[in-house]
């Protein structure tokens, strides 16, 4: 049975892998891999250059040894001609050692040359793979970018994306707010129509009675206009139409005229009463002022 530490480590690894999957961008991963291949190719090329330089140094050493061997052979011949066999033997010994060293250099040169050929072939293959990977990388990146754009467009159209989801919620909240304001406005209109609320924009002193009187006056104006139109129609229809509608029209007009006269008389009475009150107010105020200034002995008298 796994221990708690193992379970915690496993859970952490799962969470870390999921977080890395969300944060990882395949395009960046491809670019990084391509950069790694370029660095590897550069290392191979540097190694090839080092091997070629070593091979060149071996060739130079071999050339010097061959020249030295020829020189020692000539010196041995000269010493032998001079009767110095010992010097001739020493020169030949050195020539033999130079020949041995030259053989070793030939073997080392062959090894370096073979290694150089392998590195050259490896560099060529790696260069071909790098070029192929670069082409594939650009193709995959283009396909990934197109797929990502298509996914975002689809999410925007269907409203699954976070941005469009927020937009949809905003629209829904605006719609709800609009409906609330419309309902509130309709309720206020109903309250004003029933008289539960008063219109603050109306002039001061305009009470319910005045509103009813205005409504009666407006209705009388409508009736008057309607009666006038009936009279015109009856006049255009001939004497019979005039006789049939004249009595009713006269009664309607008389009633309307009487209502207007009563209304005008009431309005005039209120205006006269108000004007008399305003005119008498200064006199009453002056009398009250004189009474307040009169000495107490005069009041007693």
Contact 95, 72 (CB under 8 A): yes
Region 228-255: mean pLDDT is 65
pLDDT at 21: 58
- CA-to-CA separations, 297 to 39, 226, 290, in angstroms, rounded: 128, 73, 14
Q: Using the structure block, give the residue that is written with the tokens 């006049």.
A: 235
Mean pLDDT over residues 58-84, rounded?
85
Would you state the pLDDT for residue 300? 44
Q: If you ran DSSP here, which 8-state letter would residue 161 be given?
A: S
**What token pair was written down for 236?**
């255009």
Please report which confidence band the pLDDT of residue 299 belongs to, taking 50, 70 and 90 as the band edges: very low
Contact 271, 263 (CB under 8 A): no
User: Average pLDDT, stretch 262-266?
Assistant: 81
| Section 30-52 average pLDDT | 89
The most confident of 14-28, 49-63, 170-184, by mean pLDDT = 49-63
Angle at 233 between CA 229 and CA 239, to 5 degrees: 130
Range of weakest confidence among 92-96, 167-171, 175-179, 254-258: 167-171
pLDDT at 208: 57
pLDDT band at 265 (very low <50, low <70, confident <90, very high): confident
What is the distance between the alpha carbons of residues 234 and 260, in angstroms, rounded to a whole number?
Answer: 25
DSSP reduced 3-state for 84: coil
What percent of the chain is predicted at pLDDT more than 90? 3
Residue 40: φ, ψ to 5°:
-65, -40
User: pLDDT: is 286 or 257 the higher one?
Assistant: 257
At CA 261, angle to CA 258 and CA 264, rounded to 5? 150
pLDDT at 253: 74
pLDDT band, residue 20 (cuts 50/70/90): low
- The chain-wide mean pLDDT, for the chain, equals 76
Which residue did the predictor score with more confidence, 277 or 119? Answer: 119
Report the C-alpha gap between 137 and 3 in whole angstroms.
44
Which stretch of 142-151, 212-221, 263-272 has the lowest confidence by average pLDDT? Answer: 212-221
CA distance 137 to 141: 6
Return the higher-pLDDT residue of 262 and 9. 262
| 60 vs 271: CA distance, rounded Å | 136
Tokens 């050339």 sit at which residue? 63
Q: Which residue has the higher pLDDT, 40 or 203?
A: 40
* Cβ–Cβ under 8 Å, residues 161 and 155: yes
Higher pLDDT, 192 or 266: 266
Examine the pLDDT at 28 and tell me if it is beyond 80: yes
Predicted pLDDT of residue 301: 43
CA atoms within 13 A on the CB side of 249: 18
Q: Which of 4-18, 128-142, 267-281 has the highest mean pLDDT?
A: 128-142
Q: pLDDT tens across 131-161, in order?
A: 998 888 888 888 888 888 887 777 666 655 5
Which one has a higher pLDDT value, 186 or 41? 41
C-beta atoms surrounding 91 within 10 Å: 21
Range scoring the smallest mean pLDDT among 125-129, 169-173, 243-247:
243-247
At residue 15 the predicted structure's pLDDT band, cuts being 50, 70 and 90, is: low
pLDDT for 241 equals 47
């Amino acid at each position: 049975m796994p221990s708690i530490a193992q379970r915690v480590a496993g859970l952490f690894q799962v969470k870390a892998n999921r977080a890395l999957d969300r944060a990882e961008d395949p395009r960046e991963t491809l670019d990084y891999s391509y950069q790694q291949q370029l660095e590897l190719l550069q290392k191979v090329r540097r190694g090839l250059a080092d091997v070629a330089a070593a091979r060149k140094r071996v060739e130079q050493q071999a050339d010097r040894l061959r020249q030295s061997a020829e020189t020692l052979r000539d010196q041995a011949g000269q010493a032998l001609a001079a009767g110095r066999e010992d010097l001739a033997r020493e020169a030949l010994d050195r020539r033999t050692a130079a020949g041995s060293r030259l053989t070793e250099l030939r073997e080392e040169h062959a090894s370096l040359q073979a290694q150089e050929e392998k590195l050259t072939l490896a560099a060529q293959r790696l260069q071909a793979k790098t070029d192929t990977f670069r082409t594939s990388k650009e193709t995959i990146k283009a396909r990934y970018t197109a797929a990502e754009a298509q996914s975002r467009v689809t999410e925007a159209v269907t409203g699954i994306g976070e941005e469009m989801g927020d937009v949809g919620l905003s629209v829904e909240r605006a719609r709800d707010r609009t409906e609330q304001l419309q309902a509130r406005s309709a309720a206020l209109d109903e309250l004003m129509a029933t008289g539960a609320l008063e219109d603050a924009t109306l002039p001061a002193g305009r009470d319910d009675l005045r509103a009813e009187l205005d409504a009666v006056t407006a209705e009388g104006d409508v009736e008057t206009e309607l009666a006038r139109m009936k009279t015109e129609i009856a006049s255009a229809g001939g004497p019979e139409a005039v006789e049939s509608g004249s009595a009713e029209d006269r009664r309607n007009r008389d009633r309307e005229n009487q209502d207007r006269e009563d209304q005008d008389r009431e309005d005039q009475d209120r205006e006269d009463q108000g004007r008399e009150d305003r005119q008498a107010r200064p006199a009453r105020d002056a009398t009250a002022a004189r009474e307040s200034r009169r000495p107490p002995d005069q009041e007693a008298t």
